[in-house]
Amino acid sequence: MVKRPEPRFFDTDPDAPPFLKALEELRRQATRQGFLHHHVQAIVYAIDQYAEAATGNRGYFMSPPPVLTTGKAER
């Protein structure tokens, strides 16, 4: 069985490079600046494409998915 590495996410990546921190800030503020919707979508799409190329995870700036538990207590 091949173990795939866990995808990285911005909020769980303590060593995010300054460039990725700047992209996260731009992505978050883009919707608050009053630009045209299509321009904002183009910016967010480009940032997400870069994040996928840099980290292998397109949802890098999105919140990580919730952890599913099996209901069994771990020992």
Q: Does any domain span residue 67?
A: no
Q: Does any domain span residue 21?
A: yes
Q: Does any domain span residue 74?
A: no
What is this structure's pTM? Answer: 0.60
> 2-59: per-residue pLDDT in tens?
777 777 777 777 777 888 888 888 888 877 767 788 888 888 888 888 888 888 887 8
3-state secondary structure of 61: coil
> 16-30: per-residue pLDDT in tens?
788 888 888 888 887
Q: Does any domain span residue 50?
A: yes
- CA distance linking residue 59 with residue 47, whole number of Å: 10
Beta carbons of 60 and 8 less than 8 angstroms apart? yes
User: 25, 2, 9: which is closest to 60 by C-alpha?
Assistant: 9
Q: How many domains does the chain have?
A: 1
12: tokens are 């769980």
